[in-house]
Chains A and B, each alone.
Chain A
């Protein structure tokens, strides 16, 4: 695939690169911890030492936001891993049999407001990164199960599956050998797009105070804490907000682009 053939993928990747490259470098240097507090340097203007100025506690805004972006992506990635693995397994199980328990639970999960689940988790586990990951993962799980099941069923009706069954292959073998490789591209696309949603819901949760507590840098919490400064120090709100936007847009476009790229060979093969 070349760049001109798939502008969406490359634009998405470029947007992600703008945020993620410096974010990973920052995380390597600082461990994504909060920058030092220096109350005497609060609201410092833009300068070489503070390229985006400082926040109300005198922390370097750029370091804070980049560490926050790293933490966001880390949490989103872990949540998506979690929901993809569990969701795929459950989806495959549900595809092989009449939809009863698993799909019932999935529908129940879709009916539950995700914020409510997050609030319950935070109450049970205390505000922590673990609770945040679980909440975001649970939020993405029902969709993952449905998509996997749907895709697996479209494979399961093929003739060669029937042949494989007649040859005495076990359902586990069929899933592993025939179904999973066929739906893997779809799952990859789904995981990439899910990252965008996961980052957004993670930011939403921490905006509401249901995320990991301070001092861990967090974009959603920064947005909530600094929104009162939108009139006097707009940078404090715009920068974290823009970072969330770039990440979500980047993962969304990358997901779309990836889908196009993976679909293209199929279309070429079609008569």
Chain B
């Protein structure tokens, strides 16, 4: 007995030491609110695609770091000619796609020309169509010539949709993605989870995690239960502020606030009557008490937007509130536009908290100025195809989470059907220069122009809250671009 008592502490110590060493996990389980519609960022701009694939499966020539700064990736170095027309990239050696194809200048050329082709479905086809030609001095050097200077070109090359693809993989990337990244696609059980496994042949630093599971849990309550039960290790962009208090003082979990180019808008169909009338758009903007909206949707913890630019963006300018809450003026504007009371409109909203709550409130506000609003809940696939894809809608609430994406107001087609020669001209001048001061001034003018035209009602920007295990290190808590890169995420014992 005495011997046992003497060795017991050592026994316990060795046992706990042993279990801890064996326990240092190399797997990760991440919760996401939205399931991606497919896994090919060159075919859709859903944020969910990037959350799974950005720098995990696919990589581009350059990437954004957590602060939104452009960093080398497949290109180890580059050189831009003083006239802004020629971009020379030097590629890393010994990079292979998951299907074994080596990364060469030819694959880069294929990917970027495909993205800009007239048949391309790339969300940023407008950007890539600026490429005049791409030549290959040798297999590891890429020489890109633009048609005209395009100041955002390098930045755009860091986006999800600028991924460099293996030419043989493009047909099945949507369900079986192939890239050069640190993780290989494992399996995808739709409606439930998706797994990635470590790429043993990764060209860069070996990832610490052996496998990663993304679990799709749109319901905040079950997500919080899974986090508290340890079934989830992290949940980026937790969708409900009301529940965050459950994680306060939790020894295992912490809540970290980060920046996020989140721009919630009430998108209006600018070609449809009555939204093609500026006075009606202004009336709708003035009918909505956005300060109250922020109270109800985000407990007041959000910033009002006056234009399509997130407050964290370096180009952001604080504009005056052009459309303060004034239902009387809104009614007068509607009358002036010849809109009879009782006009019937539909407000469609996707299944996510901020959109659902905002829509219900906005409908109530619009009823106050005499509009008859029907709320229409829409599932994500239907939202993406009917509203975002075909632009068939009256009004919808949605958050744009791409960084620095004011250029979407010059896209053709764009789902809200805004066309402005003035804006087009401003954007052209913005892209034609690389001078930061001039670019900032032009961006400010673009923001003002959108605020004047009010193609959509700019609502609010919510900060990003990530819930994660305290031992998990290296996970993005900012979201400078849709992504959750896991290559350098590790468990700290």
Contacts and interface: CB of A to CB of B under 8 A. Distances in A.
Interface of A: 34, 37, 39-40, 42, 56-58, 126-127, 209, 213-215, 225, 227-232
Nearest to B289: A39
Contact of A215 (B296, B351, B363, B376): B363
Interface centre among A56, A225, A228 (most CB of B within 10 A): A228
Given A42-B296, A57-B361, 14 more contacts: A37-B361, A39-B289, A42-B295, A56-B296, A57-B357, A127-B376, A127-B377, A209-B351, A209-B377, A213-B376, A214-B359, A227-B221, A228-B240, A228-B242
Contact of B376 (A37, A39, A126, A228): A126
B246 interface: yes
Contacts of B377: 127, 209, 213
Contacts of A214: 356, 359-360, 363, 375
B292 A39 contact: yes
A140 B376 CA distance: 27
B81 interface: no
Contacts of A34: 364
Contacts of A229: 242
B378 to A, nearest CB: 9
Nearest to B375: A213
A37 B240 contact: no
Interface residues of B, number: 24
Contact of B360 (A57, A127, A232): A57
Interface string B235-252: 000001011011000000
Nearest to A58: B296
A56 B289 CA distance: 16
16 contacts: A34-B364, A39-B295, A56-B357, A57-B357, A126-B376, A127-B377, A213-B376, A214-B356, A214-B360, A214-B375, A215-B364, A227-B221, A228-B220, A228-B240, A228-B242, A231-B243
Given A57-B361, A231-B246, A232-B242, A215 B375 contact: yes
A18 B289 CA distance: 38
A215 B360 contact: yes
A39 B374 contact: no
Contacts of B296: 39, 42, 56-58
Contacts of B351: 209
Interface string B248-291: 00000000000000000000000000000000000000000100
A225 B356 CA distance: 9
6 closest Cβ contacts across the A-B interface? A39-B292, A213-B375, A37-B364, A228-B242, A214-B360, A39-B296
Contacts of B357: 56-57
A224 to B, nearest CB: 9
A232 B245 contact: yes
A215 B366 CA distance: 13
Interface in B348-403: 351, 356-357, 359-361, 363-364, 374-377
Contacts of A232: 242, 245
Contacts of A209: 351, 377
Contacts of B361: 37, 39, 57
A56 B360 CA distance: 12
Nearest to B363: A215
A231 B247 CA distance: 12
Contacts of B240: 228
A228 B292 contact: no
Nearest to A59: B364
A215 B359 CA distance: 10
Interface centre among A37, A227, A232 (most CB of B within 10 A): A37
A213 B374 contact: yes
A214 to B, nearest CB: 5
A114 B190 CA distance: 21
Interface in B444-485: none
Contacts of A127: 376-377
Nearest to A34: B364
Contacts of B243: 228, 231
Interface centre among A58, A126, A214, A232 (most CB of B within 10 A): A214
Interface centre among B220, B364, B376 (most CB of A within 10 A): B364
A36 to B, nearest CB: 8
A40 B292 contact: yes
Contacts of B359: 214
B226 to A, nearest CB: 14
A39 B297 CA distance: 10
Contacts of B245: 231-232
A213 B245 CA distance: 29
Given A39-B295, A56-B296, A215-B360, A230 B375 contact: no
Nearest to A230: B221
B243 to A, nearest CB: 5
A39 B293 CA distance: 8
Contacts of B364: 34, 37, 57, 215
A253 to B, nearest CB: 31
A60 to B, nearest CB: 14
Contacts of B374: 213
Contacts of A57: 296, 357, 360-361, 364
Nearest to B222: A227
A28 B289 CA distance: 31
B317 to A, nearest CB: 28
Contacts of B246: 231
A54 to B, nearest CB: 11
A160 to B, nearest CB: 55
